[in-house]
């Protein structure tokens, strides 16, 4: 499959290549016009020495002779750029005088008996002026040839003078094309940044203000997709919330009946069965509560979060009484290292976040282990940390454990796989970052959640 091409590159190619092609095509007739201009400029001058030599042609009774004075011969050699050749031939094409063999003209003479044409002498291109002189015994042909260095130089100067401005204009046009393309595609860049900067739960329509007409159908299609996605997400949240609510009522009744059975039973096998039912009921109730929390915390939830100034230290200390007895029951040392860490947050959601972190830590820490809850400031940013010395999470699994219902392979502990998914959703709703790290001891897991600092009043 071919790699996708860039719109900028395609537009640039479709603008620049035709422009350069037109310049090259226009150079072809320009070259021939320059050659014609150069020949016109020098051909008349080449006829002058041919006419001068023709004036020295004399016809005697027996023969035709040419007596060119030495001064005239020297005049032919004055040109320091081109070489000059001449030749006089008789009626029978015999050479009467000259310093080179010059080919006869292949074109007819004009009505004045003159002709100028191109030829080759000793491998060099020359321009030849020929004059035919009628005599009694036939015509005498006088030819003067000149190499084309001056003509070539003039052609070069004409082409440079004619096409240098065109090339400069093309260069400037390419630059203007590039800036024009960038300016024309700027709305696409703005649309991209507008979509990229959105949070996962921000499904409001994308603004098409300032968008070109060609881009507006794309914006409309994106908005239609966002609307359908918002509807689907809302329906999913309603389903989860309703299902969780429907589960809580019978589960609460079941828990009540189990407690009554605990008090009334006196059989030998019944207490164990009752305890098993009580444990399963408790886990089902916990799962229902987690689903409700997830429905409220996930992006797109219709339930707004209440951001109020609060201290993470107070949040953890108030929850300590509920978790210390559970830690003691599992013979786990639950410690607290609490310093002031003020944030803007929703107390109810953050209590759920803390509860899920402590629940995970206590579940995965063996009897006799340690769990520490810590609040502090890190470079001015409030931080909540939960550290344990349990088995930890392999680095390859640390991103996947935030997926719903995902459990690390080989984990035999209780839990539904929603705890860290809820923690991430709540952290995202608060604009906080979450990291799973290995403690300095090299054993266990350190969960660090970094919040934005409280705005200065």
Most confidently predicted of 95-109, 416-430, 441-455: 441-455
Note the pLDDT of residue 258: 67
Note the pLDDT of residue 184: 78
pLDDT level of residue 286 (50, 70, 90 thresholds): low
Note the pLDDT of residue 388: 92
Note the pLDDT of residue 300: 52
Question: Which residues make Cβ contacts (< 8 Å) with residue 342, sequence separation at least 6?
Answer: 309, 310, 311, 312, 382, 454
pLDDT level of residue 410 (50, 70, 90 thresholds): low
Q: Which CATH code fits 308-450?
A: 3.30.565.10
Note the pLDDT of residue 339: 93
Note the pLDDT of residue 387: 94
Residues 297-312 have a mean pLDDT of: 70
Structure tokens at 21: 């092609």
Report DSSP letters for 125-146, one per residue: EEEEEEEEEEETTEEEEEEEEE
Q: Of all residues in the chain, what percent are helix, strand and coil, respectively (each to 5)? A: 50, 20, 30
The C-alpha atoms of residue 59 and residue 222 are separated, in whole angstroms, by 99
Longest dimension (CA), the chain: 164
Could you tell me the sign of the dihedral formed by the alpha carbons of 274, 280, 284, 290, in that order?
positive
For residue 10, pLDDT over 90 is answered with no
User: 7-155 has which fold?
Assistant: Beta-Lactamase (3.30.450)
Structure tokens at 264: 């009334």
Note the pLDDT of residue 304: 58
For residue 210, pLDDT over 80 is answered with no
pLDDT level of residue 1 (50, 70, 90 thresholds): very low
- Confirm if 310 and 346 have CB atoms less than 8 A apart: no
For residue 2, pLDDT over 50 is answered with no
For residue 3, pLDDT over 60 is answered with no
For residue 345, pLDDT over 60 is answered with yes
Residues 83-109 have a mean pLDDT of: 81
Predicted TM-score of the model (pTM): 0.45
Residues 11-38 have a mean pLDDT of: 82
- Confirm if 66 and 56 have CB atoms less than 8 A apart: yes
Domain boundaries along the sequence of the chain = 7-155, 216-297, 308-450
For residue 312, pLDDT over 90 is answered with yes
Per-position b or e across 200-222, b if 16+ CB within 10 A of its CB: eeebeebebeebeeebeeebeeb
Query: 443 pairs with which residues across the strands?
Result: none
Looking at every residue in the chain, the average pLDDT score rounds to 79
Residues 303-314 have a mean pLDDT of: 81
Considering the segment(s) 216-297 as one domain, its CATH architecture is Orthogonal Bundle (1.10)
Could you tell me the sign of the dihedral formed by the alpha carbons of 111, 114, 120, 122, in that order?
positive
Higher pLDDT, 437 or 100: 437
For residue 254, pLDDT over 90 is answered with no
Note the pLDDT of residue 195: 80
Residues 443-447 have a mean pLDDT of: 91
Map tokens 């000259």 to a residue: 98
| Phi, psi (rounded to 5 degrees) for 64 | -110, 135
Pairing, β 370-378 against β 342-345: unpaired
Note the pLDDT of residue 343: 92
Of 132, 173, 418, nearest in space to 293 by CA: 418
């Amino acid at each position: 499959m071919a790699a996708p091409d860039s719109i900028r590159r395609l537009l640039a190619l479709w603008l620049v290549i035709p422009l350069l092609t037109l310049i090259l095509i226009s150079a072809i007739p320009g070259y021939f016009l320059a050659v014609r201009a150069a020949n016109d400029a020098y051909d008349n001058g080449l006829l002058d020495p041919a006419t001068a030599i023709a004036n020295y042609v004399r016809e005697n009774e027996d023969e035709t002779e040419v007596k060119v004075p030495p001064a005239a011969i020297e005049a032919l050699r004055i040109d320091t750029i081109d070489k000059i050749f001449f030749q006089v031939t008789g009626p029978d094409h015999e050479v009467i005088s000259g310093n080179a063999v010059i080919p006869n003209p292949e074109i007819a003479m004009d009505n004045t008996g003159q002709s100028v044409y191109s030829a080759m002498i000793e491998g060099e291109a020359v321009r030849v002026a020929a004059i035919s002189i009628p005599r009694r015994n036939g015509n005498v042909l006088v030819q003067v040839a000149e190499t084309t260095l001056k003509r070539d130089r003039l052609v070069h100067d004409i082409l440079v003078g004619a096409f240098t401005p065109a090339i400069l204009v093309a260069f400037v046009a390419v630059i203007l094309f590039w800036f024009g393309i960038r300016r024309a595609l700027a709305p696409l860049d703005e649309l991209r940044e507008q979509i990229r900067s959105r949070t996962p739960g921000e499904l409001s329509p994308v603004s098409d203000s300032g968008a070109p007409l060609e881009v507006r159908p794309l914006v409309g299609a994106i908005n239609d997709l966002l609307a359908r996605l918002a509807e689907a997400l809302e329906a999913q949240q309603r389903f989860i919330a309703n299902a969780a609510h429907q589960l809580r009522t019978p589960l609460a009744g079941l828990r009540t009946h189990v407690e009554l059975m605990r008090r009334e039973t006196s059989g030998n096998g019944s207490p164990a069965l009752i305890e098993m039912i009580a444990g399963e009921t408790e886990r089902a109730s916990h799962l229902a509560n987690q689903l409700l929390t997830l429905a409220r915390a996930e992006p797109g939830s219709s339930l707004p979060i209440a951001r109020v100034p609060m201290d993470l230290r107070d949040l953890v200390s108030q929850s300590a009484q509920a978790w210390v007895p559970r830690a003691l029951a599992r013979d786990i040392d639950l410690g607290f290292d609490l310093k002031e860490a003020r944030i803007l947050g929703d107390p109810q959601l953050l209590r759920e976040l803390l509860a899920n972190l402590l629940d995970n830590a206590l579940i995965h820490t063996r009897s006799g282990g340690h769990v520490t809850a810590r609040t502090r400031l890190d470079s001015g940013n409030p931080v909540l940390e939960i550290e344990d010395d349990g088995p930890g999470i392999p680095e390859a699994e640390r991103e996947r454990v935030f997926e719903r219902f995902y459990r690390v392979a080989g984990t035999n502990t209780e839990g539904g796989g929603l705890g860290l998914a809820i923690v991430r959703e709540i952290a995202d709703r608060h604009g906080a970052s979450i990291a799973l790290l290995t403690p300095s001891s090299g054993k266990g897991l350190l969960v660090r959640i970094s919040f934005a600092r409280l705005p200065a009043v």
